[in-house]
Amino acid sequence: MFLKVLFLISICTKFLSANVNVELSSEDIANAQTILVKFKADQNEPKIDRIYAAYEGVRYPFYRDKFSKGRSFYALVPTSYYSKVKQTKMVIVYIENGEKFYITYPVSIHEGDYKSEKLKVAPSRAKISLKNKRRIAKEQKEAMKIYHTNTQKLYIKHPLAYPMKSKITSAFGNKRLFNGMLKSYHSGTDFRAKKGTPIRAVGAGRVVLVKKRFFAGNSVIIDHGEGIYTGYYHMSHFKVHKGQLVHKGEILGLAGATGRVTGPHLHFSVRVNGVQVDPIQFLETFNLLVE
């Protein structure tokens, strides 16, 4: 349920010139979760030149909301996994006829209910050689270049779906202890899958990576446009190629046990505007836009 408020004045000393309606999906968010912001202006008001959301030191763009009528826009605002518990704020800024206007929301960040997991892997995977460290660094650099590329087109046309119908065996955010050593947090959601189980695109997009990587094994990354990326890891076989346009539900590959894993499964991840977020919470939040 959205929190709906009709703002008539800004935090500035001047009055707003537009009849503006702003909706936030939540003002109380856990670390690594996403807020959906809807912005709608009256049809008779002057042109709005620019809109963005300022949150935790970063500006997030608004895009045309093609799922709503009228002068409607939306922004996806991610919270980092490493954000501390605190009271903060989000400022919606828009420029109209050369004047800048502000709308401020208080936002509460609480700690997500993330557990700890103990995993046993082969020593060669727990202790990383210098050669593999170089490989990992190269793969991370390649991935971050992808995630910070913002395609100015949304490919998604329908509500997003899960990549498969299966039990979730490991939730996002869990602290990962490999052979007794804390190495990382779980950056995605794991689905139970026998080797060879089809893995499907959660929504339409363009395939921007098809590659075998050290940690993630056989990996596919989809650019859904406007800062949204999904990743599908540990595959046994690929069914798509880089540059290919895919539709919602299209088979991307088959589940496997490649990379650093304890057995066959699908690791599903989501990035929003370059930030790693809880995949399941993101799917639910984005689908509020499509409703």
pLDDT value of position 7: 35
CA terminus-to-terminus distance, the chain: 11
pLDDT value of position 174: 82
pLDDT value of position 96: 85
pLDDT value of position 2: 47
Q: How far apart are the C-alpha atoms of 11 and 40, rounded to whole Å?
A: 19
Give the domain CATH number at 181: 2.70.70.10
The low-confidence residues of the chain, meaning pLDDT below 70, are 1-18, 45-46, 117-126, 176-183
For residues 34 and 178, membership in a common domain is answered with no
Answer with the one of 59, 91, 110 that is the final residue of a domain: 110
For residues 125 and 212, membership in a common domain is answered with yes
Containing 141, the helix (H) or strand (E) segment is helix 130-147
Answer with the one of 72, 89, 110 that is the final residue of a domain: 110
pLDDT value of position 1: 45
For residues 123 and 258, membership in a common domain is answered with yes
For residues 91 and 187, membership in a common domain is answered with no
For residues 135 and 259, membership in a common domain is answered with yes
Give the domain CATH number at 78: 2.60.40.1930
For residues 144 and 222, membership in a common domain is answered with yes
Containing 227, the helix (H) or strand (E) segment is none
For residues 232 and 123, membership in a common domain is answered with yes
110 within 8 A of 28, measured Cβ to Cβ:
yes
Question: Scanning the structure block, which residue is given the tokens 């339409």?
Answer: 204
pLDDT value of position 178: 61
Q: How far apart are the C-alpha atoms of 178 and 193, rounded to whole Å?
A: 22
Q: How far apart are the C-alpha atoms of 99 and 31, rounded to whole Å?
A: 34
DSSP state of 173: T
pLDDT value of position 120: 65
Taken in order 198, 138, 223, 169, the sign of the CA dihedral is positive
For residues 241 and 120, membership in a common domain is answered with yes
Q: Which tokens go with 183?
A: 């190495």
Answer with the one of 95, 110, 125 that is the final residue of a domain: 110
226 within 8 A of 150, measured Cβ to Cβ:
yes
Q: Is 282 helix (H, G, I), strand (E, B) or coil?
A: helix
Q: Which tokens go with 69?
A: 């009528």
Q: How far apart are the C-alpha atoms of 190 and 168, rounded to whole Å?
A: 6
For residues 68 and 149, membership in a common domain is answered with no
Q: How far apart are the C-alpha atoms of 248 and 246, rounded to whole Å?
A: 7
Please name the amino acid found at residue 37: V
Give the tens place of pLDDT for each residue, 230-280: 999 999 999 999 999 999 999 999 999 999 888 999 999 999 999 999 999
Q: How far apart are the C-alpha atoms of 78 and 81, rounded to whole Å?
A: 9
pLDDT value of position 117: 65
DSSP state of 69: S
- Overall pTM > 0.85: yes
Q: How far apart are the C-alpha atoms of 61 and 151, rounded to whole Å?
A: 12
pLDDT value of position 218: 98
Q: How far apart are the C-alpha atoms of 218 and 237, rounded to whole Å?
A: 7
pLDDT value of position 48: 84
- Domain of 280, in residue numbers: 116-290
